[in-house]
Amino acid sequence: MEGRDEKENSPPRSDRSFSLTYIGWSSLDRRTTLPMLPWLVAEIRRRSERSDCGPAVQPRGVQLVLNPPFVRCVPSGSNNSSVFIFEHKAQLISRFIHNSNDLTYFAYLLRGQPDNPESDMSCHVFQACDPNQVPEVISSIRQVSKSALKEDTKSKQDADEAFYNSQKYEVLYCGKVTVGHKKATSTLIDDCIDKFRQHEVERKRLRLLNGQRGSTESPPAEFIMGEEGNPLSSTVNESMEDPEVFGGPTRRRHASAPNHVQPSDADKNRTMLFQVGRFEVNLISPDSKTVVLEKNFKDISSCCQGIKQTDHFGFICRDQSESGPSQYCCFVFQCASESLVDEVMLTLKQAFSTAAVLQSSKTQIQLCEACPMHDLHKLCERIEGKAKLAIQKYLSQLTDNEQAEIFERVQRLKSGSDQEENELVILHLRHLCESKQKSHLHIGETPQVNTFLVLMPEPLQLAPELRSVESELLILSVRLSNSDATELLPLSPHNLDSGFDPLGHLMSPAGDPMSGKTPKKTGADYRTLWKTAIHQQILLLRMEKENQRLEASRDELHIRKMKLNYQEVGQCSKDAQALWERKLTAPGRTTVPQDKEKVYHALCQGVPKSRRGEVWLLLSHQHRLHHRLPQRQHAPDTPYHDLLKQLTAQQHAILVDLGRTFPTHQYFSAQLGAGQLSLYNLLKAYSLLDTEVGYCQGISFVAGVLLLHMSEEQAFDMLKFLMYDLGIRRQYRPDMVSLQVQMYQLSRLLHDYHRDLYNHFEEHEICPSLYAAPWFLTLFASQFPLGFVSRIFDFVFVQGTEVIFKVALCLLSSHEGEIVECDSFESIVDYLKTTLSTLTQTEMEQTIVKVMEMDISKQLHAYEVEYHVLQDEMLDSGPLPDDSDRLDKLEKTNVQLKKQNMDLLEKLQAARQKIQTLELSVENFLSRESKMKHMIRSLEQERAAHQKTIERMRLCLPPDTLTDVEMTQIKTGPNGKAKTAAKKP
């Protein structure tokens, strides 16, 4: 990665060219978002392959010439570079796209008029002969763009940087209250806290009366955001420049008093991450790994802090869940300290001010919740893994004419697969939304009724205790008998010929349809129709549940594969795999001690990557059976989930290090993704468990390696094992005495076994702490490949920190010649921190073999005793009388300088990693986008057939029967569960 960073920072070469195939281009609205881009690329590719998505564009061979600051597309057969297909400045490229199923394809977005945000953009798609060429092309274009931006000094932050620069705080969600006014009074937060406490006292009283652990009369313990934590949405059009947003008391205090109180459940984990972005605030649950609340700044009317409860704050916004025009709700949160609340309020104030300036700027892209392009963005976000279902729901919200138009266009093209059909539907939806966007009036500009989004009725949840088909039929029959037939939205706007309908004889009127005579249906006919429809809907529900189960299983396998995406060091033979299989399944493996020599011999033969986490658990159990720690050295026994419910004072340090921990690994690269949130939980829990250590830089890498191989709770138990049972926590203690001892031991090892290397370090005043401190603090995880680090962890679980010394000694000795050739302080440190970690597969395997053969336990013990003896002698003898003060000052100065030097080098390393992360942020973000999951085609087609049959049944019912029968739509709620929605008359 360092090599790539240096390459991109080097001066660009002029007139560099790449041989590519130009697939085509398409214009797009500036409001096009990241989830829409894969569909746009698919549209351009389909146009070049089938010419059915627009004007035919034949792919052609081209030379992409990079002539700073221009990017020029030249026909491959032309010898004159002045004849080109198109040309533009490199800094006009806003985004690269490289996440298709075929890695030879890539695309980039081009800004038309940078000063006019309403102007259209264009997307150009290319294909390379070799997928390995694509990163080189993208890197080269970025290099040209960077140098051009530096020369023009007009660099602008990309929209994605808003997320990376956002501020994050850990908060405790207290609850929600309904207030009557949008402005917060000075005592609102204190009043809310009093209400919450009264409610908690009442709930405890009810628990005692009922003799239950939890009272069924207690209010919901959620955010009033629907089942499964789906976020609320609100469209309050309040000004972000309101001077009273953060103001104190108002005259209408009585109007803002808390009314309906809904506190959170104290028995659940209520800690959340409160994220303040450029235009919105998000509340993220580290437990569910989801955004449970999302509010745009314009939706928030007031923010306030408690007077008595100074560690609490909240904000007011309109509550759509309540009826009436003047209903507002206040969300209340608690921070770890008053100073943290002050920081949150200051951050909110600055963010509101910045957003207000951007909103009032003429170059601001206008966007509101009712924008058609915003609706399309939400659709593209939802359809991952459930494309067919989400698109059908979205189509059902359009008008009949719009549905008919899109249906006809898609049918004419005769798609060969569901994926192709989805791409065609999204294509026409994009054209429809872009045309609507041109005439769209934003919320607040003029009163309007938004007809683009149709609010669906509240879904009905089937009772879980009704298991039999007969019971489900009974429930559905009752619902269907009280529903409105007009609520069943069509899946297709066309009426198919009843001759092709297997139930046509039950629904088609007899005789001449023009005669005006409609045959009467008996009660038995209606019962037959309802029974058939109910059976079909029940089947659809069960199919949907099975699909969800299969998708959950696939997601779990995908995440496990993503975690273990590293190259193993050394091949684990079949015999070794069979040996570990026997050990992992042997009875009494956690209670009966095994022979240590046999366990170590099995470890030397290799560990299967897929079972490595289980092997580590086994090794920890065996170590605890052989080594009983004194009771005073045991880790506190506070349960993991109880620790997660608490707030930590170390949140800032932990949140800052989340992005620095394995920034290039797919599991941890997503900002506040599942990997980073799990890592946050783990680090937070340990900081609360071990108050002496708290959180220290380096622990995040150790925890990250554990998380890649096991669950959160297992990783937490293994982290406690490493810290307490193996004693690694000593090197993280504030005095860092243990780390100083380790640096002395490493220096003595070099002195005794590699004198030339030791003398070379001494000559250039390089102490081990300059290069080896990160090795010990992160167990080599911060700089070396994951496969190599995982193999080191295998031996750490058996031999403890002795393995770190052996690996360090082997690495230094194997590179002794290259290190001695470095003739300056800077070159030596740079080699040790960058070049040394770029090991080949053979070098890593040879290092592990040397580590297995080495035994330095006696030397390490002798060096530790020697260090403490020297320290005692220095304290006993003391300095000479004449030079005592001067010597003391020099020693202190020397220690401070070494510490400053070490801090500067660590900051330099962190800065380099940050540069790499920022350089690859767009690519990493795109590559993190999960590939579209294919639904099971047979189930999906069967489901669609059933739905069309039901629709034809509804259309064929005589008009006079609609007043007596109310139909119910079976749909899938936003939480992914199957529900039944009924609209009351």
Interval 260-271 mean pLDDT:
75
What is the predicted pLDDT for the residue at 809? 94
pLDDT single digits (tens) 531-563: 888 888 888 888 888 887 887 777 778 888 888
The CATH architecture to which 16-149 belongs is Roll (2.30)
Give the list of residues 6+ apart from residue 818 with CB closer than 8 angstroms, or none: 831, 835
Position 214 pLDDT exceeds 50: no
Looking at residues 6-23, what average pLDDT do you find? 64
Q: Is the pLDDT of residue 750 over 90?
A: yes
- pLDDT for residue 359: 64
Find the range with the poorest average confidence among 56-70, 252-266, 750-764: 252-266
Two structure tokens written together for 532: 């058939």
| Beta-ladder partners of 19 | 63
Of the pLDDT bands very low, low, confident and very high (cuts 50, 70, 90), residue 953 is confident
| CB atoms closer than 10 angstroms to residue 412 | 9
Average of pLDDT values for 348-370? 70
Share of residues in the chain with pLDDT > 70 (%): 71
From residue 668, alpha-carbon distances to 142, 174, 711, 984 in Å are 24, 29, 14, 47
pLDDT of residue 399: 79
- The letter for the amino acid at 144 is V
> Smallest Cα–Cα separation from 541: which of 617, 635, 467?
467
The average pLDDT across 412-434 equals 73
Most confident of 152-156, 648-652, 881-885: 648-652
| Confidence (pLDDT) at 213 | 46
Could you tell me which residues come within 8 angstroms of residue 490 by beta carbon, excluding any fewer than 6 positions away? 396, 400, 403, 951, 955
Give backbone dihedrals phi and psi of 345, rounded to 5 degrees, phi first.
Answer: -65, -40
Which residues, 6+ apart, have CB-to-CB distance to 817 below 8 Å? none
State pLDDT tens for residues 221-258.
333 333 333 333 332 233 333 323 333 333 333 334 45
pLDDT at 973: 47
Going along 200-289, which residue ranges are E strands?
Answer: 261-263, 271-276, 280-285
Residue 200 structure tokens: 């908690």
What per-residue confidence (pLDDT) applies to 327? 75
- Beta strand residue intervals within 68-166, DSSP E: 70-75, 86-89, 93-97, 105-111, 121-127
Which of 482-491, 760-769, 815-824 is least confident? 482-491
Q: How far is CA 110 from CA 92, 402, 461, in A?
A: 6, 30, 47
Using the predicted structure, report yes or no on whether residue 352 has a pLDDT greater than 80.
yes
Question: How much is the mean pLDDT over the chain?
Answer: 75
Model pLDDT, residue 58? 78
- Res 171 pLDDT > 70: yes
* Segment holding 899, helix H or strand E: helix 884-919
Over residues 954-976, the mean pLDDT reads: 57
Lowest mean pLDDT among 157-171, 697-711, 719-733: 157-171
Bigger pLDDT: 520 or 117?
A: 520
* pLDDT at residue 759 in the model: 92
Q: Tell me which of 514 and 869 has the higher pLDDT.
A: 869
Tokens of 251: 């005259």
DSSP codes, 652-712: HHHHHHHTTSSTTSHHHHSTT-HHHHHHHHHHHHHHHH-TTT---TTHHHHHHHHHTTS-H
Q: What pLDDT does 504 receive?
A: 38
Q: Which phi-psi region, left, alpha or beta, contains residue 175 (left: φ > 0; alpha: ψ -120 to 50)? A: left
Mean pLDDT of 887-906: 70
Among 2.60.40.10, 1.10.472.80, 3.90.1150.10, 3.40.50.2300, what is the CATH number of 735-875? Answer: 1.10.472.80
pLDDT at 509 over 80: no
Place 520 in a pLDDT band, splitting at 50, 70 and 90: confident
The residues near 483 (Cβ < 8 Å, ≥ 6 apart) are: 965, 966, 967, 968, 982, 983
Across the range 845-852, mean pLDDT stands at 92
User: What is the pLDDT, as a whole number, of residue 172?
Assistant: 92
Q: Which residues 6+ apart lie within 8 Å of 682 measured at CB?
A: 703, 706, 707, 712, 715, 716, 719
Q: Which one has a higher pLDDT value, 321 or 859? A: 859
167-205+258-361 and 735-875 share one fold: no
Task: Dump pLDDT digits (tens) for 330-341.
Answer: 899 999 999 899
pLDDT score, position 218: 42
How far is the C-alpha of 104 from the C-alpha of 131, rounded, in Å?
4
Interatomic CA distance for residues 577 and 606, integer angstroms: 8
CATH class of 167-205+258-361: mainly beta
Q: Return the pLDDT at 116.
A: 61
Question: What integer pLDDT is reported at residue 160 of this predicted model?
Answer: 41
- pLDDT for the residue numbered 510: 43
Q: Which residues of 936-971 are buried (b: 16+ CB within 10 A; e: fewer)?
A: eeeebeebbebbbbbbbbbebbeeeeeeebbbbbbb
785-807: burial string, b at 16+ Cβ within 10 Å, e else: bbbbbbbbbbbbbbbbbbbbbbb
pLDDT tens-digit readout, 910-942 = 777 777 777 767 666 666 676 666 667 778 888
Biggest CA–CA distance in the chain, Å, is: 125
Annotated domain spans of the chain: 16-149, 167-205+258-361, 372-439, 735-875
> Which 3-state string (H, E, C) describes 862-888?
HHHHHHHHHHHHHHHHCCCCCCHHHHH
